[in-house]
C-alpha cells in the first residue's frame, strides 16, 4: 500500500513537471523572451520604499500645490532667460508647483541648462517630457533623427526596433528627459490621413501592436516613461486634430477589434502612460454634443480605465490644440478633463486660467480634494519610479558627443538597411549583374541642383549617365528626356523631394506619366524615396516597371544604401508595412542575397 502511494506521488510529480515545462515553452512562444520583462505599474505603489517617498513628499504639499502637480506646460530652449514666456514658466514652477514641462524646439546644451535651472527652483522634482517619437532630432538640432515609425514598420527584426527604443531612451536620459510622448500606436488604414501617416507602424493591427511593444519595451527598459497615443486611435481620419476635431466612425465592434487592438496589447504588457487624443468617436458619445475623447468620461473612465483596466498615468494631448480648445475655454476644459478621468493636463492654452478653474471647481465642491490627492500621488509615484527622488543635474560636458556616439549613428544605418523594400522584381532583375554590355541611365526627378547620394552610390558599381528634371517640369521637357532615354538598356529613376502627406504625396501628374510611359518601352527600376502610399497616385494599369523599391525616407543615408542594394552589395530585407493596393498588399517584399562587390 505504501509503495503504491509513493508510486502515485512520483507519477503526479512527473506530470506536474511536464505540464510546467510545456506551459513555459508555450508562453515563450506567444510572448517573445526579448520583451518578457516586468513593466507592471500600480498607482498605489510597487514597494514600501516608493510609498514612503511619495507619502513624505505629499505630506509637505499644500492642497493647492497638489493641484499644480497635475499640469505640464510648454517650454523651449529657443527662449532666452529674459523672455516673458520663459519667465512665465519659472513662475509656474515656483508659485504654482507644476508637475512638469514639455520641451519643444531648440538645442541640447540650451535645453540642459534650462532643465537644470527649473529643477533647481522646483520644490518637487519635475517630469521633463519631449516629443521624441523618432528621437531627440524630432525637436532639437545637433541630435539624431531616426527613421520614423512607418520605416520601422518595414523591419522584420523586432529586436532592432527594441534597440531603437532603448537608444532613444539613453539619449533622453542623458539630456534629463524622463518622458517620451511615444509611441504612436494608431493604425494607418486611411490613405487620406494627414497627421498620422509615417508616424504609424503601418496598416496591420498585429504588426502595429508588436512593433509598438518592441519600441515601448526598449524605452521603458531604458528608464523613461512612455505613452501609447492617440487613444482610442487616430488612424482612420482625414482631419488633423491640431486644427479641428476629427470624427472616428465605426461601431463599437470595429473600434474594439481594430483601433483598440494595439492599445490593449500595450496595456496588457505594462505601458506606463496613455495619451488621449482630441477625437470624436461616434460609437461612444452623443453625436449632437460631439464630446472630444480627451474630455469624455465614456472614453477615459469607462473604456480606458474600467473596461481595459489601465492603471497608469492618463495624459491629455496638448490642450492648446484647436481640436479641443476652439470649443472649450481654459478652465472649463481642464475641469471636464478631470471629471472624465485625466491625471495630467498637457500644455493648456492659458495655464493660469486652467489652474484657477480647477481650484474654483474644488472650492465649490464640484470636484473633490480627495480625487486631486489620488492623482497627485500617482504622479509622485511615477516620479519616484523615474528616479527623480535622486535627481542629478544634467552634465553638459561631452553632451554632443554622448548623444551622437558611434553606436547611435550606426543604429541609423542598421534601420535603413533592414527597411528598404523591394516590392517588385520582374525576372529577378535585382540585384543587377552582367553589366559590361548594358548602357544604363539614372534619372533624378525632383532633385536637380546636383547629383544625389543615390546616383553617386550607383556610379560606384558601373558607368552610367545621369539626368535630372524638376517634378513640375512641362510635358514637353519630360517628352524630350523620354526620347533620349529610349536608347538605353536600363533606366533607374529616383523620385526625390516628395513628402509623406496626401493628397499628392509630393508627386506630380507629369512626372508620374513620364515614368509610366517610359516603362512601356524601356526596362525601368523605380525608386520611391517617400511614404509608400505615394504609389497610390500611380495607375495600376500602367505598372510596367521592371522593379520597384521603397526607401521611405529621402535622406543621404537612404539614398546611398538604396544604390548599394540595387547592385547587390547589400540585400533587400524590408516588407511593406501598409497596403498600397491589391497588387502590393501589406507584407509585400522580395528578399535578395547580398554579395561582396569589388
Q: What is the CATH number of domain 43-407?
A: 3.20.20.300
What percent of the chain stands above pLDDT 70? 91
d(CA 209, CA 267): 11
Residue 268 C-beta-side C-alpha neighbours within 13 Å:
11
- Minimum mean pLDDT range among 252-256, 406-410, 431-435, 549-553: 431-435
Tell me which H or E stretch contains 266: helix 261-268
Mean pLDDT of 75-98: 96
Question: Does the pLDDT value for residue 6 go beyond 50?
Answer: no
Tens of pLDDT along 402-420?
999 999 999 999 999 999 9
| Max avg pLDDT among 15-19, 70-74, 249-253 | 70-74
Q: How confident is residue 312, by pLDDT bands cut at 50, 70 and 90? A: very high
Cβ-contact 350, 328 below 8 angstroms: no
Question: Does the pLDDT value for residue 90 go beyond 70?
Answer: yes
Q: How confident is residue 323, by pLDDT bands cut at 50, 70 and 90? A: confident
Tell me which H or E stretch contains 383: helix 369-385
pLDDT of residue 570: 97
Question: Does the pLDDT value for residue 247 go beyond 60?
Answer: yes
Tens of pLDDT along 200-239?
999 999 999 999 999 999 999 999 999 999 999 998 887 7
pLDDT of residue 42: 38
pLDDT of residue 418: 98
One-character DSSP codes across 315-345: EESPTTSHHHHTTS-TTHHHHHHHHHT-SBE
Cβ-contact 467, 444 below 8 angstroms: yes
Of residues 28 and 473, the one with the higher pLDDT is 473
pLDDT of residue 40: 33
Question: Does the pLDDT value for residue 36 go beyond 80?
Answer: no
Question: Does the pLDDT value for residue 99 go beyond 90?
Answer: yes
Tell me which H or E stretch contains 455: helix 453-459
Name the 3-class secondary structure at 568. coil
Q: How confident is residue 322, by pLDDT bands cut at 50, 70 and 90? A: confident
Beta partners for residue 179, in sequence order: 129, 225
Considering only CA atoms, which of 422, 417, 414 is closest in space to residue 160?
414
**Strand 547-550 to 524-528 pairing:** parallel
Q: How confident is residue 48, by pLDDT bands cut at 50, 70 and 90? A: low
Cβ-contact 125, 388 below 8 angstroms: yes
One of 3.40.50.720, 3.40.50.1700, 3.30.1700.10, 3.40.190.10 is the CATH number of 420-566, namely 3.40.50.1700
d(CA 529, CA 68): 46
Tens of pLDDT along 449-467?
678 999 999 999 999 999 9
Q: CA angle, corner 67, sides to 346 and 42, nearest 5?
A: 75
d(CA 130, CA 578): 28
Q: How confident is residue 348, by pLDDT bands cut at 50, 70 and 90? A: very high
Q: CA angle, corner 224, sides to 55 and 67, nearest 5?
A: 40
pLDDT of residue 8: 54
Q: How confident is residue 20, by pLDDT bands cut at 50, 70 and 90? A: very low
Residues carrying CATH 3.20.20.300, the chain: 43-407
d(CA 468, CA 474): 14
- For the chain, report the end-to-end CA distance as a whole number of angstroms: 80
pLDDT of residue 38: 35
Of residues 34 and 310, the one with the higher pLDDT is 310
Tens of pLDDT along 126-177?
999 999 999 999 999 999 999 999 999 999 999 999 999 999 999 999 999 9
Of residues 32 and 334, the one with the higher pLDDT is 334
d(CA 271, CA 351): 28
Tens of pLDDT along 255-298?
999 999 999 999 999 999 999 999 999 999 877 778 999 999 99
d(CA 438, CA 444): 20
Residues carrying CATH 3.40.50.1700, the chain: 420-566
Beta partners for residue 443, in sequence order: 467, 493
pLDDT of residue 502: 92
Q: How confident is residue 596, by pLDDT bands cut at 50, 70 and 90? A: low
pLDDT of residue 47: 54
pLDDT of residue 15: 52
Mean pLDDT of 385-401: 96
Amino acid at each position: 500500500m505504501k509503495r503504491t502511494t509513493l508510486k502515485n506521488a512520483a507519477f503526479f510529480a512527473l506530470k506536474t513537471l511536464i505540464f510546467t515545462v510545456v506551459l513555459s515553452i508555450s508562453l515563450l512562444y506567444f510572448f517573445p523572451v526579448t520583451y518578457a520583462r516586468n513593466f507592471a505599474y500600480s498607482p498605489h505603489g510597487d514597494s514600501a520604499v516608493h510609498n514612503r517617498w511619495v507619502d513624505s513628499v505629499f505630506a509637505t504639499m499644500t492642497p493647492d500645490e497638489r493641484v499644480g502637480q497635475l499640469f505640464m506646460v510648454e517650454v523651449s530652449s529657443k527662449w532666452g532667460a529674459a523672455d516673458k514666456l520663459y519667465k512665465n514658466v519659472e513662475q509656474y514652477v515656483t508659485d504654482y508647483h507644476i508637475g512638469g514641462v514639455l520641451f519643444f524646439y531648440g538645442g541640447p546644451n540650451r535645453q540642459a541648462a534650462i532643465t537644470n535651472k527649473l529643477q533647481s527652483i522646483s520644490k518637487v522634482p519635475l517630469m521633463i517630457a519631449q516629443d521624441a517619437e523618432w528621437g531627440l532630432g524630432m525637436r532639437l538640432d545637433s541630435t539624431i533623427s531616426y527613421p520614423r515609425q512607418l520605416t520601422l514598420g518595414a523591419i522584420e527584426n523586432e529586436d532592432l526596433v527594441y534597440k531603437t527604443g532603448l537608444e532613444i531612451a539613453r539619449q533622453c536620459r542623458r539630456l534629463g528627459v524622463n518622458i517620451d510622448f511615444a509611441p504612436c500606436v494608431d493604425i494607418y488604414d486611411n490613405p487620406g490621413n494627414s497627421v498620422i501617416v509615417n508616424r504609424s507602424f503601418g496598416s496591420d493591427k498585429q504588426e502595429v501592436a508588436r512593433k509598438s511593444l518592441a519600441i515601448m519595451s526598449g524605452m521603458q527598459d531604458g528608464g523613461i516613461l512612455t505613452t501609447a497615443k492617440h487613444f482610442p486611435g487616430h488612424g482612420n481620419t482625414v482631419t488633423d486634430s491640431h486644427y479641428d476635431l476629427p470624427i472616428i466612425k465605426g461601431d463599437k465592434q470595429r473600434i474594439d477589434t481594430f483601433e483598440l487592438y494595439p492599445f490593449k496589447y500595450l496595456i496588457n504588457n505594462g505601458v506606463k502612460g496613455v495619451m488621449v487624443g482630441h477625437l470624436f468617436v461616434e460609437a461612444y458619445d452623443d453625436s449632437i454634443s460631439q464630446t472630444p475623447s480627451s474630455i469624455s468620461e465614456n472614453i477615459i473612465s469607462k473604456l480606458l480605465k474600467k473596461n481595459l483596466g489601465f492603471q497608469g498615468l492618463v495624459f491629455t494631448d496638448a490642450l492648446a490644440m484647436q481640436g479641443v480648445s476652439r470649443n472649450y475655454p481654459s478652465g472649463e476644459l481642464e475641469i471636464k478633463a478631470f471629471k472624465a478621468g485625466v491625471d495630467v493636463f498637457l500644455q493648456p492654452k492659458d495655464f493660469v486660467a486652467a489652474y484657477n478653474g480647477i481650484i474654483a471647481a474644488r472650492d465649490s465642491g464640484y470636484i473633490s480634494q480627495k480625487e486631486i490627492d489620488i492623482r497627485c500621488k500617482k504622479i509622485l509615484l511615477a516620479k519616484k519610479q523615474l528616479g527623480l527622488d535622486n535627481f542629478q543635474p544634467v552634465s553638459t560636458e561631452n553632451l554632443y558627443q554622448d548623444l551622437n556616439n558611434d553606436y547611435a549613428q550606426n543604429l541609423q544605418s542598421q534601420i535603413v538597411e533592414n527597411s528598404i523594400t523591394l516590392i517588385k522584381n520582374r525576372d529577378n532583375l535585382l540585384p543587377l549583374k552582367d553589366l559590361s554590355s548594358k548602357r544604363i541611365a539614372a534619372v533624378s526627378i525632383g532633385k536637380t541642383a546636383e547629383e544625389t547620394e543615390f546616383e553617386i552610390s550607383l556610379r560606384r558599381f558601373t558607368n552610367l549617365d545621369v539626368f535630372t528634371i524638376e517634378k513640375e517640369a512641362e510635358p514637353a521637357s519630360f517628352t524630350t528626356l523620354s526620347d533620349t532615354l529610349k536608347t538605353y538598356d536600363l533606366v533607374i529613376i529616383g523620385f526625390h523631394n516628395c513628402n509623406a502627406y496626401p493628397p499628392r504625396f509630393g508627386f506630380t501628374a507629369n512626372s508620374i506619366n513620364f515614368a509610366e510611359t517610359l516603362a512601356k518601352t524601356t526596362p525601368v527600376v523605380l525608386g520611391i524615396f517617400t511614404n509608400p502610399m505615394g504609389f497610390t497616385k500611380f495607375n495600376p494599369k500602367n505598372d510596367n516597371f521592371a522593379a520597384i523599391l521603397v526607401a521611405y525616407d529621402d535622406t543621404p543615408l537612404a539614398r546611398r544604401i538604396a544604390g548599394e542594394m540595387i547592385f547587390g552589395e547589400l540585400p533587400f530585407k524590408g516588407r511593406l508595412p501598409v497596403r498600397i493596393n491589391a497588387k502590393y498588399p501589406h507584407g509585400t517584399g522580395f528578399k535578395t542575397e547580398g554579395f561582396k562587390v569589388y
